[in-house]
A = this chain, B = another copy of it.
Amino acid sequence: MALFSQITIIGMGLIGSSIARAVKKTGVTGRLVACDNNEEHCQISRDLKLADHITADPQEAARGSDLVILATPVGTYGDLGKIICPEMQSGAILTDVGSVKGSVVKALSPLMRADCHLIPGHPVAGTEQSGPDAGFAALFEGRWCIVTPLENTPDDMVDKLEKFWQALGSKVELMTPDHHDMVLAITSHLPHLIAYNIVGTARHLEEVTKSEVIKYSAGGFRDFTRIAASDPTMWRDVFLHNKEAVLEMLGRFSEDLTALQRAIRYDEGDKLFKLFDRTRRIRKEIIDAGQEQDIADFGRHKDDQ
């Protein structure tokens, strides 16, 4: 028995197209509809047979589905909601995969009909690549998906969405939208902001040429360029829609960085060593938790001792 009779995915980028691939494998739905406003994305999705029906019209896409998933940049949700909500089937769930949750609730809940259910979600998974050809079915396997139900959401609807993500291989955790936004500010948004920033700083140096930055990037810089290669529209929206939590975390980061700067200036080697020694341990815990692989240098070399 399929969990849903028809699922609609709006936005066939990395995440949307990965959901489509995973859905096809699991049989959680009778029929899969995909939608993208970019004609090229639609064509690629058709060529790869990623859904049963593929259209550029979100109204048409949303009709008749009991699960509609928004997988576009969060800045588009308000406009999309206005178009989609009146078309949705009674009893249907509207969810999303956006990296912020508080602003999603603010944008969409006023637009929801009383007979539909808004249950925001966020699969914490991704790569630096974009577009329908970058997706893959295993993207969500072993990763966490955070679901942030509203106070009045019926439990059986939340259960259904949980089962959906579990079918795709994810582990599901429930939390409030505000707590989600604080957790992701430190684990994802701040790391991206800092990565974008250091790559920007490197571009503007007069003393060091761009070709030198590229040549010697194996010393650490290249690791930052991976996440600084993420989709710019998506990330602009993330920072503008999680402003408070990002500014809070950024304030703490800058305070700590100033303290570190001072320790370097005044030769406080013990302070530096203590910090560097402690941070080393957290990586081991991340590896132990199955959220990272213990392959030196991210497996960039082959071990040929």
Taking CB atoms, residues of chain B closer than 8 Å to A303 are 136
User: In the bound complex, do residue B134 and residue A197 qualify as a contact, i.e. CB atoms below 8 Å apart?
Assistant: no
User: In the bound complex, do residue B208 and residue A186 qualify as a contact, i.e. CB atoms below 8 Å apart?
Assistant: yes
Interface presence of A56 (CB below 8 A): no
A259 to chain B, nearest CB (A): 9
Interface core residue of A179, A200, A279 (most chain B CB under 10 Å): A279
User: In the bound complex, do residue A254 and residue B256 qualify as a contact, i.e. CB atoms below 8 Å apart?
Assistant: no
User: In the bound complex, do residue A305 and residue B135 qualify as a contact, i.e. CB atoms below 8 Å apart?
Assistant: yes
Whether A247 contacts B229 in the complex (CB less than 8 A), given A282-B214, A304-B137, comes out as: no
Whether A233 contacts B144 in the complex (CB less than 8 A), given A208-B186, A252-B201, A256-B201, comes out as: no
Taking CB atoms, residues of chain B closer than 8 Å to A293 are 300
Interface presence of A41 (CB below 8 A): no
**A283–B219 alpha-carbon span in the complex (Å):** 14
Query: Chain A 117-144 against B: per-residue CB contact (8 Å), 1 yes, 0 no?
Result: 0000000111111000011111100011
A23 to chain B, nearest CB (A): 13
Q: Which of B21, B128, B222, B229 is in CB contact (< 8 Å) with A305? A: B21
User: In the bound complex, do residue B273 and residue A203 qualify as a contact, i.e. CB atoms below 8 Å apart?
Assistant: no
User: In the bound complex, do residue A236 and residue B191 qualify as a contact, i.e. CB atoms below 8 Å apart?
Assistant: no
Interface presence of A2 (CB below 8 A): no
Taking CB atoms, residues of chain B closer than 8 Å to A224 are 191, 223
User: In the bound complex, do residue A124 and residue B304 qualify as a contact, i.e. CB atoms below 8 Å apart?
Assistant: no
The count of chain A contact residues (Cβ–Cβ below 8 Å) is 115
Taking CB atoms, residues of chain B closer than 8 Å to A99 are 219
Interface presence of A85 (CB below 8 A): no
Q: Which of A76-84, A150-158, A159-167, A284-292 contacts B (4 or more CB under 8 A)?
A: A284-292
Taking CB atoms, residues of chain B closer than 8 Å to A110 are none
A73 to chain B, nearest CB (A): 11
- Which residue in chain B gives the minimum CB-CB distance to A271? B236
**A143–B252 alpha-carbon span in the complex (Å):** 36
Within 8 A of B (CB), among A180-220: 182-184, 186-205, 207-208, 210, 212-220
User: In the bound complex, do residue A240 and residue B254 qualify as a contact, i.e. CB atoms below 8 Å apart?
Assistant: no
Taking CB atoms, residues of chain B closer than 8 Å to A236 are 269, 272-273, 276
Q: Which of A32-40, A61-69, A260-268 contacts B (4 or more CB under 8 A)?
A: A260-268
User: In the bound complex, do residue A301 and residue B249 qualify as a contact, i.e. CB atoms below 8 Å apart?
Assistant: no
A249 to chain B, nearest CB (A): 7
Which are the 8 A-B pairs with shortest beta-carbon distances? A188-B219, A232-B276, A191-B220, A298-B298, A127-B296, A199-B279, A127-B297, A225-B283
